[in-house]
Amino acid sequence: MAVLVTGGAGYIGSHTIVELLEASIDVVVVDNYINSKPEALNRVQAITGKDLTFYEVDILDEKSMEQVFENHEIEAVIHFAGLKAVGESVALPLSYYHNNITGSIILFKLMNKYNVKRLVFSSSATVYGLSNPSPLTENLPLSTTNPYGTTKWMIEKILQDIYHADSTWQIVLLRYFNPIGAHESGLIGEDPNGIPNNLMPYVTQVGIGKRKQLGVFGKDYDTPDGTGVRDYIHVVDLAKGHLSALTYITKHKGIEAINLGTGNGHSVLEVIKTFEKANNVTIPYTFEKRRPGDIGTCYADVSKAKKLLGWVAKRSLEDMCRDAWRWQSMYPEGYVND
Ligand code: NAD
Ligand code: UFG
């Protein structure tokens, strides 16, 4: 019996597989490496000293996907595969809808056919939209502001409908807040293409000298220091949350949306200061205009994760900054040099 991990070579997938292998769970990965490198999976094996099986397969390729279900006795699926760049999704909506939604439908059809009804799906706090107040609870009304977010919302809806048609499914929709950091070994981490969109990879690239300075988007939000507040969560804590979700679905039928965050908000300036102190590195920055589509404050109510999964995030913002920096310093070019 094995767990199928789609998109397992990516940032969150690779960290999750470390946790699965360390819990002696057999893992089969499919990834088309559109936003990752197979080297990440070699590193996962180096960290754990355990083997996994990986296929270079696009989830849109139904025949090849079916072969994976034929080759292995799959007991559950963790579905990370998807495109995730918000700005790109606005420019290329069809690519996002096709890849994320059609790809998911192909996967769910095969799961149905092979009687694999256990699923952990990567959703996002982006489904809470712009107007809900934090702390965000799972039962709030959902809305989205870009095609990427809409794919997450639609896949959640599709899964609700699948469950309503067949109540033997066991599904958890994990709504991630802001995953940052890296495995403490420094061997795996986030490896963005081109100019990073997100705060932490931008900060680490300024730290290493790849970029001159950070632009802080907005200083007039209704927050303690005027800069945006987010719920940053260490990627290793997030990865452990998947293991807890997997354990949960083996025992519970139904479909549950669950936030994965720390429940604490930190401002952009706090992140910069914590990073500088933890790593003894200076991060020059300038204040820029607000980024369109950003909200001032976004953090999770994490009581449902604690209650249902028995999971809480343990790592501090300082841990996140230190581990992100270790990965960036050890591999300034990410996985490309290998
Ligand atoms: P990532 O891009 O590092 O990982 C996604 C992986 O999926 C990549 O390895 C990519 O090559 C693969 N992939 C994409 N399309 C595929 C396809 N058609 N067939 C096979 N493989 C495919 O992203 P991540 O940060 O690890 O995110 C994982 C999941 O979590 C995504 O679904 C993302 O939308 C979601 N998520 C991420 C964040 C975040 O801030 N990182 C926040 C909320 C939700
Ligand atoms: N920020 C800057 N400068 C930068 C980048 C970001 O000041 O160069 C600020 C943003 O304005 C925001 C904070 O840092 O206040 C965090 O921004 P990120 O881009 O790192 O994260 P977001 O919260 O905007 O978005 C992330 C994911 C989305 C996901 C969303 C869900 O990138 O995919 O969380 O909450 F939809």
Ligand 2 contact, 128 CB (< 6 A): no
For helices 235-251 and 11-22, give the axis angle rounded to 10 degrees: 60
Instruction: Point out the ligand 1 atom lying closest to the alpha carbon of residue 34.
Output: 11
- Residue 124: per-residue pLDDT: 98
Nearest Cα neighbor of 90 from 129, 146, 137, 49 is: 146
Residue 202: closest CA among 146, 274, 267, 285: 285
Has residue 206 been placed in a domain? no
> Is 176 touching ligand 1 by the criterion CB < 6 Å?
yes
CATH number for position 118: 3.40.50.720
Q: Is there a cis peptide before residue 147, judged by omega within 30 degrees of 0? A: no
Give the domain extent around 46: 2-181+233-261
Q: Where do the DSSP E strands lie in 57-147?
A: 74-79, 118-124
Cα angle 167, 171, 99 (rounded to 5 degrees) comes to: 115
Distance of alpha carbon 24 from alpha carbon 247, whole angstroms: 13
Instruction: With respect to residue 295, please indicate whether it lies within any of the assigned structural domains.
Output: no
The pLDDT score that the predictor gives to residue 338 is: 46
Q: Per-residue confidence of the chain (338 residues) as pLDDT tens digits?
A: 899 999 999 999 999 999 999 999 999 999 999 999 999 999 999 999 999 999 999 999 999 999 999 999 999 999 999 999 999 999 999 999 999 999 999 999 999 999 999 999 999 999 999 999 999 999 999 999 999 999 999 999 999 999 999 999 999 999 999 999 999 999 999 999 889 999 999 999 999 999 999 999 999 999 999 999 999 999 999 999 999 999 999 999 999 999 999 999 999 999 999 999 999 999 999 999 999 989 999 999 999 999 999 999 999 999 999 999 999 999 999 997 44
CB 79 within 8 A of CB 124: no
- Burial zone of 24 (CB within 10 Å; 0-12 exposed, 13-18 middle, 19+ buried): exposed
**101-118 b/e with 16+ CB inside 10 Å = b?**
bebbbbbbebbeebebbb
> What does the H/E/C string look like for 8-29?
CCCHHHHHHHHHHHHCCCCEEE
Cα(55) to centroid(ligand 2), Å: 32
What does the alpha-carbon distance between residue 165 and residue 296 come to, in Å, rounded to a whole number? Answer: 39
Just list the catalytic residues: 148
Quick one: which ligand is closest to 192's CA? Answer: 1
- Cα 225 to ligand 1 centroid, rounded to whole Å: 32
CA of 69 to the centre of ligand 2 (A): 36
Minimum-distance ligand to the CA of 260?
1
Tell me how far apart the alpha carbons of residues 248 and 106 are, in angstroms, rounded to a whole number: 25
Question: Does the Cβ of 81 fall within 6 Å of ligand 1?
Answer: yes
The whole-number pLDDT of residue 136 equals 98
Considering the entire predicted model, what is its pTM? 0.98
For ligand 1, the distance from its centroid to the CA atom of residue 7, given in whole angstroms, is 6
Domain membership flag for residue 315: no
Q: Tell whether 310 is covered by a domain.
A: no
* Distance of CA 32 from the midpoint of ligand 2 (Å): 26
Half-sphere exposure for 147 (CA within 13 Å, toward CB): 18
Inside any domain, residue 102 = yes
Decide: 202 in ligand 2 pocket, CB within 6 A. Answer: yes
Measured from the alpha carbon of residue 102, the closest ligand is 1
Residue 153 phi, psi (nearest 5): -65, -45
Give ∠ CA 83-203-10 in degrees, rounded to 5: 30
Residue 215 lies in a domain: no
Q: From the CB of 9, is ligand 1 less than 6 Å away?
A: yes
The count of domains in the chain is 1
